[in-house]
Amino acid sequence: MNDTTATARAQAAQVRLMAFDVDGVLTDGTLWFTSAGDEMKGFSSTDGHGLKLLREGGIELAIITGRRSRAVALRAENLGIARLHQGVEDKRAVLLEIAGQIGVAPQQCGYMGDDVVDLPILRACGFSATVPEGEALVKQHVHYIAHRPAGRGAVREVCEFILGAQGRLDGLMARYLG
């Protein structure tokens, strides 16, 4: 699928709910542990601003991840993302549940993931995206492959792609140009 032309834009134009994986998408995938066993993650402020723009553009946001981390909960809270689902084995089922709760069809959902465990959810969405470091099989089954790296702008790029496809990006950026 990985087509960034008209097909990807048409799919992105339909998105009303966009969900994201964490490790390898919102982060570079590195897992840091302190000697006390606490997990640490690094998040991009650029990606964070992209998520805020997406929300301001009227898109519902969710984080759906297989791991559990207090750092992720803090980041979601900081960004105002209330739909945080951690420790999820069946990400597809969670996304479809959220979609049902807010009244959107699967074709109006998007997901950004990077590994083969994400394929069921990526294939269930109307719009799917990955990072340049994503697994080769994942890249074969997504609409959009970001150019910027995981944890360093890939999420922002996808957020802006969606907003651009929906004709909302220029309006959201206008306040910074005035």
**Residue 10 C-beta-side C-alpha neighbours within 13 Å:** 6
For residue 113, give Cα distances in angstroms to 45, 90, 144.
19, 13, 11
pLDDT, tens only, 151-160: 999 999 999 9
Residue spans of the domains in the chain: they are 6-165
113 closest CA partner among 9, 24, 46: 24
Q: Which of 60, 81, 58 is nearest to 169 (CA)?
A: 58
Return the closest-CA partner of residue 115 out of 151, 148, 139, 86: 139
Instruction: Provide, rounded to the nearest whole percent, the portion of the chain with pLDDT above 90.
Output: 92
The pTM (predicted TM-score) of the whole model is: 0.95
Q: Taking residues 13-32, report their average pLDDT.
A: 96
| CATH fold of the domain at 6-165 | Rossmann fold (3.40.50)
